[in-house]
Chains A and B, each alone.
Chain A
Amino acid sequence: MISPVKIWRRQKDIRKILGKKGKIFLWTKIFTPGTGFKKYAPYPVVLVELENNEKVYGQLVDHEEKDLKIGKKLISVLRKVRTASVDGVIAYGIKFRPLK
């Protein structure tokens, strides 16, 4: 079970980067995930440079394969970020969706 306190502490920071635009700086696609991410595999992970130059990591969602390139414009959205255990607190966090 992930610590509920850790999840709670993180949520304050998540709020600050929701709905922010940016572009892909680095990317990869994970085929062999660790525990907690198996349900989503394979999934792309991107390092996004936001408009304020801050860099944020997140998975890419609602995408086509061609969106996986350096420079692609994205926006941050709220999603579940890891499979909670059946009785654990749900971790919500940032993922990125391509902008048309």
Chain B
Amino acid sequence: MNYITGYYTTKFGELWDKSLFDLVEEAINGVLKSTNLERKKIDAVFFGNMLAGVLGNNLHSTSKLSEILDVNIPVFRTEAACASGGTAFNLAKTYLDANSNKNVLVIGAEKMTDYSPEEVITALSAAASGEEQEAGLTFSGLYAMMANFYLEKYHYTEKNLAYVSVKNHYHGTLNDKAHFRRKISIDDVLESAYVSYPLKVLDSSPISDGASAIIMSNNLNFIKKQDYSASVLASEIATDTISLKSRKNIDEILATKIVSDKAFKMAKIKRSDINVAELHDCFSIAEILAMEDLGFWKKGEGGQKIMEESTTYGNGGNLIVNTSGGLKASGHPVGATGIKQIGEIFLQLTGQANNRQVKNAKYGLAHNVGGSGGTAVVTILSS
């Protein structure tokens, strides 16, 4: 069994003073301190990052991390667009399954605010197919197409989508590391400018900087000495076509459906056992699709169910979603998100979530998606 014993995240936001590797260092120092692990006792490092090569001309991060940590251990970098973090965690867990008595460091990080919005939008569209890029489709354009299709098929309007952003912004006010910490209303969302019709600024996660790190271990001696630990019941990945046009159905992310079934089977628990979840809300529509594709809601009823606000903190619901503020309010430094999500579940299951603590949280789920659904990662933890 693998356990998470430590988690640290930098603040997410426009962190002008810090470079990518300043943020990585802060996250590493923070997580090592929280779990009392010396750097020499780390056996391997896993690093999730999407854009350092495209935007910063920085590759060979494996060697860069060796320099930062002053170690000569194996380092691996994973990239799966916005699922880079989740994929790094999955690779780390796979490493632990294959090697006993090891401690691994998993970091996700991204630096996006050094560049103009156009440069970032262009870089993010590298997650889409060549044809999609050539047609001038941005990343938001792809989700917008999915949103238009979903809204038309199930007879919903932009208002249904707005409930996701309102909920996540409220949660952001409860998370001191969130990029945005202000409440917004349904009208605020509906009045915001269009990014890609029908998705508006307030339907879309922001451009943020940040780094998050986790310590995971299968070394029982080490784990026994920890104040906090959560077991990793399942970590699964599924992939699907990069092109939206090649997907079987447009109103679902098949990779999520497949990986969800795999993860619940591995964890041997039911959907209704999950108390708290971090879902991939890169755009408001994405959270609604995720709730359906993960099996929490029936296909097509998401637009209606979100309006019931049962997944909002404090409403007494069985499943609270995105207490961190989600990608929308806590921010989306692409490579860091997957780790932050798992870390947030860790905080919830170990009673460390302060004023956003979901009572008696026993099982939690993190869901990380790459591109318009080309990669999906689901991690299930238990306290």
Contact = CB atoms under 8 A, between A and B. Distances in A.
A57 B140 contact: no
B196 A30 contact: yes
Contact of B135 (A31, A32, A58): A58
B238 interface: no
B38 interface: no
Given A28-B144, A30-B137, A38 B118 contact: yes
A63 interface: no
Nearest to A37: B136
A81 interface: yes
Contacts of A55: 245-246
Contacts of B122: 34-36
A98 interface: no
The B interface is mostly helix, strand or loop, or mixed, namely helix
Contact of B121 (A26, A28, A34, A81): A34
Given A26-B250, A81-B134, A32 B195 contact: yes
B242 to A, nearest CB: 13
Contact of B125 (A28, A34, A38): A34
Interface size class of A (residues with CB under 8 A): 20 to 34
Interface string A59-80: 1000000000010000000000
Nearest to A2: B134
Interface residues of B, number: 31
Given A27-B148, A28-B148, A34-B125, A59 B135 contact: yes
A29 interface: yes
A2 B197 CA distance: 28
Interface in A43-57: 43, 45, 47, 55-57
A70 B152 contact: yes
Contacts of B136: 30, 33-34, 36-37, 40, 43, 45, 59, 81-82
B140 A32 contact: yes
Given A25-B245, A34-B122, A82-B136, 4 more contacts: A28-B141, A34-B136, A57-B245, A59-B136
Interface of A: 10, 25-38, 40, 42-43, 45, 47, 55-59, 70, 81-82, 91, 93
Interface of B: 117-119, 121-122, 125, 131-132, 134-138, 140-141, 144-146, 148-149, 152, 193-198, 244-246, 250
12 contacts: A25-B245, A26-B245, A27-B145, A28-B137, A28-B148, A33-B118, A34-B138, A45-B145, A55-B245, A57-B131, A70-B148, A82-B134
